[in-house]
C-alpha cells in the first residue's frame, strides 16, 4: 500500500490543504505549529483503520486527544467555521481507495460521517503501520496501558501503540538476512540488543553480560534501540507505513548518517516513510545517501497570510520556504562576522 494524497478542510491549523505524497520517504519540515505532527497522526489513523477492529474517527480522536474526545474541537478555530473534512487516498497494485470523514460543531464525540471504510478495510486489511513519537516511551512501558485506561495518566494512542508493537513478535522464527543486516547496523550504535521481560513488563538493553534498565540508557540510544526492536519483531516489513516524529531528537550527530541509511534501506525494501524533522544534517544525509531505487520528497509547511501553505520538491535546497536552511545560513553569516 502507498498513501497517495491527503486533503483537509478546516482541520486544526489548516484552512485548506491538498498534498500528494511520494511512494518512498516523505520528509516534512516547517516551523513549530505548522501542523506536521497533525498530518502524520491523520495518516496514521487512516492506516490503522484498515483493521476491522479500528474506527477511523475514533482512532483520530485517540491520537489527537481533544478535550472530552470531541472531534468538533479539531475544527479550525476561526469565526464562521462550522465543519471540517478529511480525505485520504491510497492505492495498492493499481487499486485506489478513498477514506473520508466529515464532522461539524454538533458532532458527538467521534461520531463523524465516515465514507469508504468498508472498502478500505477489504483492500488494506493486512496493512501494517507504525508511529514513533518524538518522546521515547519504552522506558515508561510498565503498566502504562492500565494506568491510561484508569485515567491515572494521559497518553495518546501513538504511545500505547508503539509499546504494543515493540512487545509483539510479528514474524517469529529465525531472522532473515535482510533483518540481520539492519540489526547489525543499529547494534553498532546502541552497543547491544533489546530484551523485553514479559513478567516484569519492562524493556532492557543487553550489552555483553550487562543488562541495563531502559530508563538508565541515554534517550538517543533508546530511540535507536526501539528501531532495533521493531526490525527484530518484523514490524517494519514490506508494505508497512512508518511515521517518525523528529527521529534525530536526542541522537548524537555522529549517528545520523547511519539512521539515514537505515531509513533509505527500509524504503528500498518496500516501507513507505513519513518523517518530520528540524535537522539540517538529517535531511541532507537522506539526500546525499539515497540510491537509484530510493524515492525521496521534501514537503515544506509554512504560514503565509495567516494560512498554512505547502510546497514539495525532490531536492531539499529547492524548497523556497525552508526554515532549516535559513537558520543554517544565518549561523554561517554570524560565524563569518566573528572572523572579520
Q: What is the mean pLDDT of residues 194-209?
A: 91
pLDDT digits (tens, 9 = 90+) for 227-250: 999 999 889 989 999 999 999 999
Sign of CA dihedral 173, 179, 184, 186: negative
Phi/psi for 22 (5° steps) reads -80, 155
Residue 159 sits at the vertex; the CA angle it makes with 176 and 146, to the nearest 5 degrees, is: 110
- Of the chain, the percentage scoring pLDDT greater than 70 comes to 98
Angle at 50 between CA 135 and CA 202, to 5 degrees: 35
pTM of the model: 0.95
Region 190-217 average pLDDT? 91
Give me the residues paired with residue 275 across strands. Answer: 27, 244
Give strand pairing partners of 299: 28, 312
105-153 pLDDT, tens digit per residue, is 999 889 999 999 999 999 998 889 999 999 888 888 888 888 888 888 8
**Lowest-pLDDT range, 4-8, 20-24, 141-145, 196-200?**
141-145
The pair phi, psi for residue 146, each rounded to 5°, is -65, -40
Amino acid at each position: 500500500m502507498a498513501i497517495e494524497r491527503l486533503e483537509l478542510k478546516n482541520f486544526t491549523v489548516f484552512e485548506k490543504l491538498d498534498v500528494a505524497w511520494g511512494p518512498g520517504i516523505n520528509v516534512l519540515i516547517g516551523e513549530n505549529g505548522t501542523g506536521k505532527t497533525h498530518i502524520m497522526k491523520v495518516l496514521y489513523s487512516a492506516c490503522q483503520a484498515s483493521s476491522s477492529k479500528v474506527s477511523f474517527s475514533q482512532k483520530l480522536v485517540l491520537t489527537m486527544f481533544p478535550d472530552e474526545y470531541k472531534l468538533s474541537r479539531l475544527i479550525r478555530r476561526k469565526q464562521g467555521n462550522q465543519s471540517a473534512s478529511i480525505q485520504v487516498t491510497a492505492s495498492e497494485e493499481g487499486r485506489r481507495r478513498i477514506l473520508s470523514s466529515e464532522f461539524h460543531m454538533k458532532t458527538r464525540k467521534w461520531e463523524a460521517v465516515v465514507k469508504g471504510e468498508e472498502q478500505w478495510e477489504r483492500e488494506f486489511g493486512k496493512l501494517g503501520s507504525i508511529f514513533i513519537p518524538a518522546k521515547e516511551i519504552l522506558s515508561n512501558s510498565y503498566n502504562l496501558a492500565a494506568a491510561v485506561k484508569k485515567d491515572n495518566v494521559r497518553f495518546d494512542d501513538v504511545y500505547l501503540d508503539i509499546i504494543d508493537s515493540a512487545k509483539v513478535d510479528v514474524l517469529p522464527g529465525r531472522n532473515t538476512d535482510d533483518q540481520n543486516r539492519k540489526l547489525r547496523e543499529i547494534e553498532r550504535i546502541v552497543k547491544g540488543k533489546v530484551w523485553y521481560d514479559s513478567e516484569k513488563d519492562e524493556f532492557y538493553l543487553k550489552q555483553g553480560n550487562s543488562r541495563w534498565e531502559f530508563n538508565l540508557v541515554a534517550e538517543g540510544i533508546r530511540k535507536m534501540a526501539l528501531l532495533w526492536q521493531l526490525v527484530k519483531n518484523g514490524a517494519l516489513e514490506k508494505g508497512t507505513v512508518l511515521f517518525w516524529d523528529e527521529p534525530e531528537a536526542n541522537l548524537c550527530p555522529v549517528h545520523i548518517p547511519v539512521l539515514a541509511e537505515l531509513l533509505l534501506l527500509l524504503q528500498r525494501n518496500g516501507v513507505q516513510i513519513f518523517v518530520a524533522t528540524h535537522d539540517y544534517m538529517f535531511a541532507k544525509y537522506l539526500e546525499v545517501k539515497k540510491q537509484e531505487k530510493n524515492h525521496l520528497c521534501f514537503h515544506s509547511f509554512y504560514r503565509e497570510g495567516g494560512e498554512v501553505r505547502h510546497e514539495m520538491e525532490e531536492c531539499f535546497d529547492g524548497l523556497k520556504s525552508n526554515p532549516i536552511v535559513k537558520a543554517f545560513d544565518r549561523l554561517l553569516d554570524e560565524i563569518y562576522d566573528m572572523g572579520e
